Amino acid sequence: MKFSELGLSDHLLSAISKSGFEEATPIQAETIPMVLKGEDVIGQAQTGTGKTAAFGLPILQKIDFDNPNVQALIISPTRELAIQTQEEIYRLGKDEKAKVQVVYGGADIRRQINALKGHPQIVVGTPGRILDHIRRHTLKLEHVKTLVLDEADEMLNMGFLDDIEDIIKQTPKERQTLLFSATMPAQIKRVGVQFMTDPHQVTIKAKELTTDLIDQYYVRVKEYEKFDTMTRFFDVQDPEVTIVFCRTKRRVDEVAKGLQARGYKAAGLHGDLTQARRTQIMQEFKAAKIDILVATDVAARGIDISGVTHVYNYDIPQDPDGYVHRVGRTGRAGKHGVSITFATPNEMDYLREIEKLTKVRMLPLKPPTIQEAFVGQLNSAEEDIAKLIKKTNTDKFEKMADKLLDEYEATDLVAALLNEVTRDNVKVKITPERPLSRHGHGHGHGGHRNDRRGGGHGGHYKGSKNRRNGDRSNSGRNRGHHESSNDRKHSDKRSGSNNKKRRFTIKNK
């Protein structure tokens, strides 16, 4: 369906056109008309289906730009998702000069307070920091007309449900509420019943993520062989934009450092990195100084990088939902993607469970040989050298080049150059992780989520109430550990675009 058929204003249609969108995604086509009518909506859809525009466009259309009060509040589970949502809505509302402010933990609250004094009509934020501002009376919600709960299941997993209920109670009863969630556990349904008025349910099936555009493979491999096997795939497949998923933070650090040691442009992302480091990594990725992001599930959540060509599951996901989220990073916007999952022999049961519940059959893939990887490296080196020659002022080096050609055989000189530009096969040791525990596998229990504190052993993390990485301000409750606003280490990264140029869009979460 075309956006022009959804009842949107000319200003918004122009902004949509500038963003390069042509047709509405299923969630947008179904949701936008309902939201414009003022109805409450529960949208069930996976990441990458265009949820931000589904609620952002009708919110922008309904904003009264002469009213200085906050008229729409969007609650997001992580800082990164909040930032990306704010950027997307700001871009869509730029022509009409919409004021959209983001607030999240781990950033200077005074700066946010000053920004809120600028009277934004739309505020996007994480639960803990929103509550901080409410308690400081720097964010007033009595004029909110539309409330959005984005990634509600993720906020539930992170232990934010009580905070969300506290925030909802600060908004007018006569408001429109929109709830978006990839899954619909009972607690989320309860929020719908308790805080929404006759909500319409829109369900976009997960099969849209695992499309024919994604070639999905698995490689049966021993734990100690994983790293070398993966790098051989890199050399043979020459992936352009890559995400490698690992189960723990320790694993992310070790794999990222190992890739760097071998000459790959890689960086690791997890919740214990500082905000400054996360921002730096994403800026480098944006400028194509980094080709490979190694991340935990939580750290990668919220980033929607268009153009991911390959997803490598270094560690098998702990539940089918996790697999769908990971694989959904590639094969977007009509482009082809590849997903490869490394499974140890005793993890094959998990793999079959994922296949059964996602109704997708992964094809077995034979690892490349050392020789095949070397040929891949040489092919890549040939391209690199061609680019190098193109950008080199050869006149400057002519005399030295002639001197070297007198002293050495041309073949030896070129071989030395090839040796320099191909990967150094440094020995890399990755600490083994204990395989996933077999009990309760494949059903997405909260206690089996990723990005645990410390290096940990897969599958033995108990207690879904424990908070995962995300924003959490001191809320005065005695649930779990509390962190100060300025000392949170959480999953979160800045979005960006390619040097080539990579585009980081929010299609959306």
48: domain CATH number is: 3.40.50.300
Q: What is the 3-state secondary structure (H, E, C) of 364-390?
A: ECCCCCHHHHHHHHHHHHHHHHHHHHH
Same domain, 150 and 18: yes
Same domain, 199 and 240: no
Q: CA dihedral defined by 34, 35, 39, 41, rounded to 10 degrees?
A: 90
Residue 383 makes CB contacts below 8 A (sequence gap 6+) with none
Same domain, 169 and 30: yes
Q: Can you read off the two tokens belonging to residue 166?
A: 């506290």
> For 114-122, what is the mean pLDDT?
96
Asked whether residue 453 is domain-assigned, the answer is: no
Q: What amino acid occupies position 361?
A: R
Sort 174 into a burial class: Cβ within 10 Å, 0-12 / 13-18 / 19+. exposed
For the segment 120-145, what is each residue's pLDDT rounded down to a tens digit? 999 999 999 999 999 999 999 999 99
Same domain, 310 and 231: yes
Segments forming the whole domain that contains residue 268: 208-364
Ramachandran quadrant class, 473 (left: phi over 0; alpha: psi -120 to 50; beta: rest): beta
Same domain, 196 and 225: no
Q: What total number of domains does the chain contain?
A: 2
Model confidence at 281, pLDDT cuts 50, 70, 90, reads confident
> For 484-502, what is the mean pLDDT?
37
Encode burial over 255-281: b for 16+ CB neighbours within 10 A, e otherwise: bbbbbbebebebbbbbbbbebeebbbb
| Strand pairing class (122-125; 100-103) | parallel
Model confidence at 303, pLDDT cuts 50, 70, 90, reads low
**Angle 325-216-260 from CA coordinates, rounded to 5°:** 75
For the segment 404-455, what is each residue's pLDDT rounded down to a tens digit? 888 888 888 777 777 766 666 777 888 887 666 543 333 333 333 333 333 3
Model confidence at 301, pLDDT cuts 50, 70, 90, reads low
Same domain, 27 and 95: yes
